[in-house]
């Protein structure tokens, strides 16, 4: 972590969900817009982050925030959004693994007013986030659900991007982090006006050998070994979004 940044040292789903509980929106989705910001939330957000990170710039990571970019921009007008794009096949493979850990990735959904019987009943707790229309996926195959989550998240980001100043938007490919971590993060640091120190450079050079919050050591095309048949079935479904974010299909 750069000395110029602070972090909660964890993902922030619980905090954001406490401000706008999905149950108060009829569990429709995790979407939030600029119009959903009110004075109560401004005060709560300011107090929360000041308590945990002080006056420093900070990094916040939460997959649900793909659906809340306009909301976050309203709260933080000078925020810079870093969009990490990842090949759909590998990303969906990772989502499938995550759905196998419902206590970790679906703890927020214990009161969900729906019976989840995904994968012929193998998955009974909804995980990660709700997208508009999620109720029609309650009995689908796991790869179909995860493919839709990947599509919806990326399409939401692409839609929000249109209203973000270019100076406040950074895009990188996940694969570049693995292939050339030093060059990739140096570019990000420069765009964020952060010092890319020798210490950070050494850390970047060893990223793949010291993964954080990963199911296994990062490498490309894990899906071919772990969920090949499942992923191949949904490849046509994700091809359009893949092209939009810069991948060849």
Q: Which of 158, 140, 161, 163 is nearest to 237 (CA)?
A: 140
Q: What is the pLDDT of residue 249?
A: 82
* pLDDT for the residue 175: 95
CB-CB contact of 125 with 106 (8 Å): yes
Separation of alpha carbons 30 and 133, rounded Å: 11
Instruction: Give tens-digit pLDDT for 191-246.
Output: 999 999 999 999 998 876 766 555 567 788 999 999 999 999 999 999 999 999 99
The domain spans of the chain are 5-244
HSE, side-chain direction, 13 A CA sphere, residue 121: 0
Quick: pLDDT tens for 208-221: 676 655 556 778 89
Rounded to whole angstroms, the Cα distance separating 221 from 226 reads 9
Residues in the chain with pLDDT values less than 50: none
Q: Cα torsion at 146, 72, 12, 96 (round to 10°)? A: 10
What is the distance between the alpha carbons of residues 4 and 192, in angstroms, rounded to a whole number?
Answer: 10
Query: Would you state the structure tokens that stand for residue 93, as one six-digit string?
Result: 């493979």
Domain 5-244 belongs in CATH node 1.10.260: no
């Amino acid at each position: 972590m750069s000395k110029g940044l602070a972090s909660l040292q964890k993902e922030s789903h619980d905090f954001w969900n406490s401000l706008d509980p999905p149950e108060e929106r009829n569990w429709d989705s995790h979407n939030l817009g600029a119009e959903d910001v009110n004075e109560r939330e401004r005060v709560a957000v300011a107090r929360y982050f000041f308590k945990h990170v002080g006056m420093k710039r900070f990094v916040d990571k939460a997959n649900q925030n793909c659906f809340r970019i306009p909301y976050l921009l309203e709260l933080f007008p000078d925020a810079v959004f870093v969009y990490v794009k990842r090949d759909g096949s590998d990303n969906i493979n990772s989502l499938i693994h995550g759905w196998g850990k419902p206590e970790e990735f679906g703890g927020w959904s214990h009161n969900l007013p729906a019976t989840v019987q995904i994968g012929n009943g193998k998955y009974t707790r909804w995980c990660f986030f709700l997208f508009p229309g999620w109720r029609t996926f309650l009995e689908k195959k796991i790869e179909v659900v995860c493919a839709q989550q990947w599509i919806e998240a990326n399409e939401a980001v692409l839609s929000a991007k249109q209203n973000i100043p270019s100076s406040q938007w950074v895009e990188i490919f996940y694969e570049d982090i693995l292939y050339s971590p030093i060059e990739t993060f140096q570019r990000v640091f420069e765009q964020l006006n952060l010092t890319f120190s020798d210490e950070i450079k050494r850390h970047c050079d060893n990223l793949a050998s010291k993964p954080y919050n990963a199911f296994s050591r990062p490498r490309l095309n894990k899906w071919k070994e772990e969920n090949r048949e499942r992923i191949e079935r949904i490849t046509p479904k994700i091809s359009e979004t893949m092209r939009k974010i810069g991948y060849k299909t």
